[in-house]
Structures are given as C-alpha cells and as structure tokens.
Structure 1
Amino acid sequence: DPTLTATILSSREYTDFVRSARSSDGPVQLPVSWKLASPITVTVVPPASVIGDATNACVFASGTPIPVSIVSSQLGRTYVLPTTPLSAVDTAVEGRSCPSS
C-alpha cells in the first residue's frame, strides 16, 4: 500500500529510527505497530480447512461451503472473516472446492 508506506516513511518514529540505526550493522528491521480504524472480528480456523485463494476462499461447516475472506495466518492458524458466523469447520476437505463467486 503506497499510502501506508509513505505515512511510515514520513513519521517521526521512522526518522528517529533511521538516525539511531548503525549502517555498519547491515539490514535492520523497523518494528511497526498499528491498528485498524474500524476493528473487525475474525474467526481462527486450521489452515487445512481453508480452500481456495485470496480471491475466492471458503471453509466447510457440516458439508456446507461458507465463503470467507482470508485476513492473515500465523503459526498454524488462519484468520478469516466468514460471511456467516462459524462455530466449527470441517477439516477433511480434500477434493472439495469453493462455489464460484
């Protein structure tokens, strides 16, 4: 996102970080924390339960496909935004596919 990058690069925190980083140390990582302007509630599901890709993903609940938006993933967890609330998902989904959106 060019706007986000420009905002970070023009921040006082970034300027202070660049001034304090020693160039002899090689590449450095800039820790950045941010929050959404409008929080969302995501559901955590096992990665094996998610079918599809970033543009057309779904999970199955009791055999029924539920469209989801993939928000993030980390350490064996996939964070999704389902179109309907989920209480459980199927993990044996091999051979299934998401309906076309």
Structure 2
Amino acid sequence: MKKAKEFDFSKARRVTAQETLAFKKAIERTFHMKRPSRGRPPKGLDKYRDVHIRLHPKALEWAHTQAKHRGIGYQTFINEILLHRATGGRSYTSSGPHKQ
C-alpha cells in the first residue's frame, strides 16, 4: 500500500473545544504534569506602565546608537536615562538600583 505524501486538509474537520479539553486532560493524566499555559506571563502592575511619547528623530537616533553600543534595547536605555535623572544621579539598570 502506498503512503500518502500529502493530506487534503480541505476535507478535514476542526477539532471542537470539548475534544481539545479532553486531549489536554488525557495528556495531564498520562504524564502526571500540568501543561504550561500559552503565551508570555503578564508582568506585575508595578513593573512598567504603557506610555506612548513622541521624540525628535535625532533624539531617537541617539538613543538607538547608545543602546546598541551598550547591547541593550533603546527603550531600556531611555528608561535608564530618565530614572537616573529622576533619582538625582543614582544609577539604575533594568535589574534595579545600583550605587556608583
């Protein structure tokens, strides 16, 4: 008997939500472990606030350049600069405060 090289998915039916739940429970029972939730876990409310600002193109280009030299993201760099200024010169990094 020949093996089918391709499957015609146009004739396949969708799996129902009940079937998906049954599959998930069967996997958990078989392997005795919970399946991980999908997606990135949410950050804490005190971590960051979603803010949208407009920056001059030259300022943004400078931030990109400086961040690239330091090997960090430009938003992280801007955040560190603002925190440094807001805290009176104490140095902050993405992992928290550091004494100079």
TM value normalised by structure 1:
0.19
TM value normalised by structure 2:
0.19
Highest RCO, 1 vs 2 (Cα 8 Å, sep ≥ 6)? 1
Higher helix share: 2
Larger Rg belongs to: 2
